Structure 1
């Protein structure tokens, strides 16, 4: 516990469960309508990761949540983890860790402000004011220095976080994701959306959808509490199998999704693909999409409606089934339900062919070792120029029809 000159008190907590859920969520709601609706920074989500054993010291995620207090009021908070590895982050620093090792230095443990396994941009520095957000950054840096950690990393940050991190002298790093955004007037239906694409991309999408249809695959969707226990169980079978096929254990446990079903059902949308392999109709694949929800309090500002591609798996192989389950079905649902944005997750240039456009995301970094900090800063300058060149190249391959001159 530390006190600064403005009588703020910093408390470092070793579990998200030691933060009051309603106070945390109230602080999240104070950021902006969009952040208030972001399901991944809700206390229920972070608590489920911890309680289910998905993000704990045993899996390399040791919680050290930084909280800022003014009297008995929670004025700021940040989800911070000590990391013993760089898995589950999606902003890759393996080369930095290797460089440390080659020079006989320890890169791990490091400090990470992020949502485990969740590359969705959003607020990481929850605070009531910009000044308190700056205090929170300074508290993070001071704590990392006291603990003699190699580095601090804030991943997929909101613009307000970026400003506070820049003011504190952190280095910025950019990566590229692919998001779909509806025009202000929306689309009448999926065909109307297809007509906004150039002929090559429109033809490709229709061909891919036809392959799934001709294979006898049909989809059904369920939202929130309408997702049955049997469907949750089936989804996890698919999700787990997909990880095992790639030689890995899944990051998230069945208990994590059980907690999502119990505490945040309104934030989940499930698509189930049914087919007839062997002649009998049965479920063969599933994709689970997160959605934000309208504000629960009367008079609260409505957030832009957004959906987030998250998890999928299949028990049978069907050509183009992944594209249908993870892109076309969710996009069709978004269009029909007035959702303005669909985020496709980390990486994946192939998403551009499905009308998800490149979006630059930002992380912020501090390294304690001066020489390594200088080397990383030079690297980030070169990498940043490459990212901008990549974005320019992607823009030239825009899948939408050219606007009339």
Structure 2
């Protein structure tokens, strides 16, 4: 049976129940509530640089597959950097924008992008995906990009160029407590972390975790103040996401939210927001109103690790970049993106660039592994597990 392919300019075009029946939507970033909140709080849409253009594939009006997508007129908020490609187009008198991307806006979290019902013909679905993406050229898009997919072997080798990057993720090797995790580190690293936590305690800094109904309006308002102020200091704008967006998350999916809040002498000074599912915790947004040395590491890293151990979660993704994460137990992890540029000569040039870049990324990954902070016993366990 032939599939019907549609591009939707509003996420509300999808039926919530049919969306949630697709595999992969159990992720907090792919559930209906999260993607819908982005649009209803106007974090994406007209004037934001992210124009919704979601791909849906239907069989007898039933949604059987989807690919969340957006038309982009810039490359902000993507975390896969292609400005050099845009410049190359410009230098040849061509326009790189608009382009189409499949991504979670402002959220560089690897995960499922090709959302399918479990009872459909995968080969037929991926053929329909490929045909739909090819049709974007006729919609005046220069290219199509799929950012941070879990599965990069879904099309023919010639369909997409594969780009590598590296993030640093923490993995739970059946730790029973935070001390159990510390005991897997070298003595020097273990002592350094304990010293950091002790120093914060001596300064009368108290760090607490809040879930579910504990995430009150007051706590989310303070979190947003921290988030906004931190963006203003670093980037000169108030952040990509609005207070209304975070309030909607609290209303619609607070069973997947965690807030870590720090107080100094009983006054709140820092806050960060995590999302989680039944396998992973994701650290996303952080801010503070008072600079206290090493408080960021406690709130954003150690509390996330401790939460993952307590909840029996498999891993912790703390966000992009930062070699400083390695010394705190986060391991280099390959991430991927898929790209196709519809002008053949530019696609070939990018393919050549990616071959060279991939060698450098592989070298960086191997170098990062050599400075992991685990002790000899733990290193042997890691080798045996591979």
Q: 1:178 is paired with a residue of what secondary structure?
A: strand
Q: Which of structure 1's runs of 4+ aligned residues deviate more than 4 A? A: none
Alignment equivalent of 2:273, drawn from 282, 288, 301:
288
Partner of 2:9: 14
Q: What is the distance in 2 between the residues matched to 1:327 and 1:241?
A: 20
Alignment equivalent of 1:201, drawn from 174, 178, 189:
189
Q: What is the distance in 1 between the residues matched to 2:347 and 2:158?
A: 14
**Residues 25, 115 of structure 2: 8 Å contact kept:** no
The one-character-per-residue Cα deviations of 1:226-257 (angstroms, maximum 9, x if unpaired) are 21111111111111111111112210000101
| Unaligned 5+ runs, structure 2 | 382-386
Single out whichever of 206-215 and 308-317 deviates more from structure 2.
Answer: 206-215
Alignment equivalent of 2:41, drawn from 19, 27, 52:
52
* Alignment partner of 1:232 is 2:220: yes
Alignment equivalent of 2:147, drawn from 155, 159, 166:
155
Q: What is the distance in 1 between the residues matched to 2:128 and 2:107?
A: 22
Q: What is the distance in 1 between the residues matched to 2:19 and 2:362?
A: 36
What is the deviation of 1:36? 4.4
**Residues 130, 155 of structure 2: 8 Å contact kept:** no
Structure-to-structure mapping, 1:57-72, within 5 angstroms: 57-72=46-61
- Given the superposition, is the C-alpha separation of residues 134 and 167 from structure 1 closer, same or farther in structure 2, using an over 3 Å criterion? farther
**Residues 137, 164 of structure 1: 8 Å contact kept:** no
| Unaligned 5+ runs, structure 1 | 1-5, 294-304
Partner of 1:371: 345
Partner of 1:210: 198
Structure-to-structure mapping, 1:291-306, within 5 angstroms: 291-293=276-278, 305-306=279-280
**Residues 3, 128 of structure 2: 8 Å contact kept:** no
Q: What is the distance in 2 between the residues matched to 1:67 and 1:261?
A: 27
**Residues 165, 364 of structure 1: 8 Å contact kept:** no
Partner of 1:165: 155
The one-character-per-residue Cα deviations of 1:339-368 (angstroms, maximum 9, x if unpaired) are 221111111111111101011011100001
Partner of 1:25: 20
Partner of 2:329: 355
What is the deviation of 1:74? 0.9
Partner of 2:171: 181
Q: What is the distance in 2 between the residues matched to 1:226 and 1:36?
A: 25
What is the deviation of 1:195? 0.8
TM-score for both structures, normalised by structure 1: 0.89
- Given the superposition, is the C-alpha separation of residues 145 and 336 from structure 1 closer, same or farther in structure 2, using an over 3 Å criterion? same
Structure-to-structure mapping, 1:85-124, within 5 angstroms: 85-124=74-113
TM-score for both structures, normalised by structure 2: 0.94
Partner of 1:299: none
Partner of 1:3: none
Q: What is the distance in 1 between the residues matched to 2:298 and 2:367?
A: 27
Partner of 1:302: none
What is the deviation of 1:312? 0.9
Q: CA RMSD in A?
A: 1.5
What is the deviation of 1:130? 2.2
Alignment equivalent of 2:314, drawn from 340, 343, 347:
340
Q: What is the distance in 2 between the residues matched to 1:132 and 1:22?
A: 23
What is the deviation of 1:137? 2.6
**Residues 177, 310 of structure 2: 8 Å contact kept:** yes
**Residues 215, 318 of structure 1: 8 Å contact kept:** no
Q: 1:206 is paired with a residue of what secondary structure?
A: helix
Partner of 1:389: 363
Partner of 2:384: none
What is the deviation of 1:212? 1.7
**Residues 75, 132 of structure 1: 8 Å contact kept:** no
- Given the superposition, is the C-alpha separation of residues 401 and 308 from structure 1 closer, same or farther in structure 2, using an over 3 Å criterion? same
Q: What is the distance in 2 between the residues matched to 1:250 and 1:85?
A: 16
What is the deviation of 1:197? 0.7
The one-character-per-residue Cα deviations of 1:185-236 (angstroms, maximum 9, x if unpaired) are x222111110101123222222222232222100111112221111111111
Q: 1:240 is paired with a residue of what secondary structure?
A: helix
